[in-house]
Chains A and B, each alone.
Chain A
Amino acid sequence: MTQTTADSPARRQRAQIKERTLRTDQWWRYPLITFIIFTAFLVYATWAIFDTSYFVSPYHAPFASPCLATSCPPESRLFGFAPFGDWYTLPPGLLILGLPAGFRFTCYYYRKAYYRGFWLSPPACGVNEPHSKYTGESRFPLILQNVHRYFFYAAIVVGLVLAIDAVKALIGNPTGLGTWILIVNAVLINLYTLSCHSCRHITAGRLNHFSKHPVRYKAWGFVSKLNAKHQELALISMFSVMGADLYVRLVAKGIINFPFA
């Protein structure tokens, strides 16, 4: 058997090559672009939490929906529901943003992307990572990534809320551009949610006898098709939610004010 401790002869017997990588392509592009896009998203989300123009009838900015505090305009509340009373003075977005944020943070695609783009572990295939120790997701804290499926359950609710917001907008202003932006966004967010790996597992991935569960097997086939596009859906829905959110806020601020806004 091969000796495998750090200073073992086997370690020395690997080809001793000084270069961190011999790749000649632009392997640094993927981590760099990931870093830039995700950082922009984080900066925008932080700004959005503290921005107060999240509602303009009938549009509700997705980052602040559902609005659960009495400080939210009554019309913006989900079925008039406002469990957080006057004592709650922080931005209402803070109450719910943890759920979609946690969903994306523990998403298998986002994990791949930020492990590569932010933690450089590894920055690209065949490029050495800069860390001397590595335990990955085998222990605390990263073992907590295993809670992902609970965020998935929450994400179903969030996806429903966004769909309700879109319907409300459609009733309130069927010809508004904002309405259609919210509809497209709600569709993309829900597709992203459905394409989740945990969803695929729960649907039927955990079964070994597909033939005994024909309905679940069919659903699994459908989710698997979406799942193959999970990365694309994750990115497109990230842009759509950011775009829809910004659009509503700009309308609320009066910056966008053409007739069909």
Chain B
Amino acid sequence: MSYKAKFRVWRGEGGEGKLEDFTVEVNEGEVVLDIIHRLQATQAPDLAVRWNCKAGKCGSCSMEINGRPKLGCMTRMSTFTEDETITVTPMRTFPVIKDLVTDVSFNYQKAREIPSFTPPSDVKPGEYRMQQIDVERSQEFRKCIECFMCNNVCHVIRDHEENKPGFAGPRFLMRIAELDMHPYDVADRKDSAQEEHGLGYCNITKCCTEVCPEHIKITDNALIPMKERVVDRKYDPLVWLGNKIFKRSSSKS
């Protein structure tokens, strides 16, 4: 069962470009990335697209399909009707290199800005002893395939380029939450989450969660818990008082 589908694909370099129309064959069981490859093989040999695994695991083929961030390799053609025009554009939040390929170095920059795992100085590698329940929460976050669609859809930077320097995006705020919840991490991450990485910009509207192909509950399990941890540190007079009175160390419990 094959049919001819109408596609509109954004083509251009360095931001300048336009949507081009194509009519292209679609066969049963195919995904959007297959169709893009067919365009490459037939009508548009210089069409640029980034991909690798075709299995939803490498996070390379992030694009926007009918305006929604999706993995091209995981978006089945059967989710569209045959007479629908399917619009494919590059991710909007990052600069375009060519056609569907964007420059995602913003994300690598942000990753580098977060201090890495910091164990206590008296514990040697190999001496870590953790129970499953103590690391379970952060294991959810380790499912991330770094497709960066969450950072792409987040309106804080999608709609406001000027916020990029002060906002790590959901992907890396989640990384901070992961480390802050880690039983062996001793670095203080609460103040910096708020002051340097822009946790306060997030208004928990959950678009990151909506687009995550790994179905990580970014907002509920990482961002909101991290906001609550920041409240403990910065905005809760009772916790502050309790820490003073009982001389608790406020950073890790």
Among A16, A21, A122, A134, contact of B201 (Cβ-Cβ < 8 Å): A134
- Which residues of chain B are near A227, meaning CB under 8 Å? 220
User: Among the listed stretches A82-90, A123-131, A164-172, which one makes contact with chain B, having 4 or more residues with CB under 8 Å of it?
Assistant: A123-131
B119 at the interface (CB under 8 A from A): no
Among B15, B94, B232, B252, which residue has its beta carbon within 8 angstroms of that of A208?
B252
From B21-29, B41-49, B158-166, the one touching the partner chain is B158-166
Q: Is the CB of B89 within 8 A of A149?
A: no
**Inter-chain contacts of B12 with A (CB < 8 A):** 15-16
Query: Is the CB of A101 closer than 8 A to any CB of chain B?
Result: no
Question: Contacts of B105 on A, CB cut-off 8 Å?
Answer: 1-2
Asked if residues B66 and A23 are in contact (CB atoms below 8 Å), the reply is yes
Asked if B204 and A206 sit within 8 Å, CB to CB, the answer is: no
CB pair B201–A13 under 8 Å, yes or no, is no
Is A211's beta carbon under 8 Å from chain B? yes
Given A121-B155, A206-B253, A227-B220: A115 touches B203 (CB 8 Å cut-off): yes
Interface size class of A (residues with CB under 8 A): 35 or more
Q: Which of B70-113 contact A (CB under 8 A)?
A: 84, 87, 89-90, 92-96, 102-103, 105-106, 109
Whether B115 is near chain A, meaning CB under 8 Å from some CB there, is no
Whether the pair B225, A112 counts as a contact (CB closer than 8 A) is no
Q: Are A136 and B200 in contact (CB under 8 A)?
A: yes
Q: Which residues of B contact A22 (CB under 8 A)?
A: 64, 66-67, 87, 89
Asked whether A13 and B205 contact (CB < 8 A) given A5-B162, A23-B68, A201-B225, the answer is: no
Closest CB in chain B relative to A7 CB, distance in Å: 9
Report A-chain residues with C-beta under 8 Å of the C-beta of B89. 15, 17, 22
Q: Determine the chain B residues whose CB is within 8 A of the CB of A133 once the complex forms.
A: 160
* Contact assessment for A14 and B200 in the assembled complex, using a CB-CB cutoff below 8 Å: no
Considering the chains assembled together, what is the distance between the CA atoms of A207 and B95 in angstroms? 40
Q: Does A26 contact B (CB under 8 A)?
A: no
Report the Cα distance A126→B210, complex, angstroms.
11
Residue of chain A at shortest CB distance from B136: A210
| Residues in A whose Cβ lies below 8 Å from that of B188 | none
Point out the residues of chain B lying under 8 angstroms from A143, CB to CB.
Answer: 200, 235
A2-B106, A137-B200 in contact; A208/B182 too (CB < 8 A)? yes
Q: Is A205 an interface residue (CB 8 A)?
A: yes
Which of B153, B161, B201 has the most chain A CB atoms inside 10 A of its CB?
B161
Is B241 engaged at the interface, CB distance under 8 Å to the other chain? no
Bound complex: CA of A87 vs CA of B228, how far in Å? 41
Report the nearest B residue to A111, measured CB to CB: B204
Q: How far does the alpha carbon of A77 sit from the alpha carbon of B161 in the complex, in Å?
A: 55
* Given A4-B164, A125-B153, A211:B133 Cβ within 8 A: yes
Say whether A206 contacts B232, CB under 8 Å: yes
The residues of A that contact B84 with a CB separation of less than 8 Å are 24
- In the complex, what residues of A have CB within 8 A of residue B69's CB? 125-126
Q: Would A14 and B159 count as touching, CB distance under 8 A?
A: no
Smallest CB–CB gap between A103 and chain B, Å? 15
Q: Do B153 and A126 touch across chains, with their CB atoms under 8 A apart?
A: yes
Residues of A contacting B121 with CB < 8 Å?
none
Cβ of B114 within 8 Å of any chain A Cβ, yes or no, is no
* Closest CB in chain B relative to A8 CB, distance in Å: 8
Residues from chain B with Cβ under 8 Å of A23 in the complex:
66-68
> Which A residue's beta carbon lies closest to that of B225?
A205
Q: How far is the CB of A215 from the nearest CB of chain B, in Å?
A: 13
A129 touches B109 (CB 8 A): no
Q: Which residue of A lies closest to B195 (CB)?
A: A138
Say whether B122 faces chain A, with CB atoms less than 8 Å apart. Answer: no
Check B236 for interface membership: any CB of A closer than 8 A: yes
Q: Does B224 contact A (CB under 8 A)?
A: yes
Residues of B within 8 A of A138 (CB): 194, 198, 200-201
Q: Mark B47-74, 1 if CB is under 8 A from A, else 0.
A: 0000000000000000010111100000
B-to-A contact residues, CB < 8 Å: 10, 12, 14-17, 64, 66-69, 84, 87, 89-90, 92-96, 102-103, 105-106, 109, 131, 133-134, 153, 155-156, 158-165, 180-183, 194, 198, 200-207, 210-211, 220, 224-225, 227-232, 234-236, 252-253
In the A-B complex, the 7 residue pairs with the smallest Cβ-Cβ separation, listed nearest first, are: A138-B200, A22-B67, A23-B67, A13-B95, A125-B207, A201-B228, A4-B164
Apart from A14-B95, A128-B155, what are 19 other A-B pairs with CB-CB below 8 Å? A6-B162, A13-B15, A15-B90, A24-B87, A121-B155, A122-B205, A125-B68, A126-B207, A131-B159, A137-B200, A138-B194, A138-B201, A146-B231, A147-B235, A197-B224, A198-B228, A201-B228, A207-B253, A208-B183
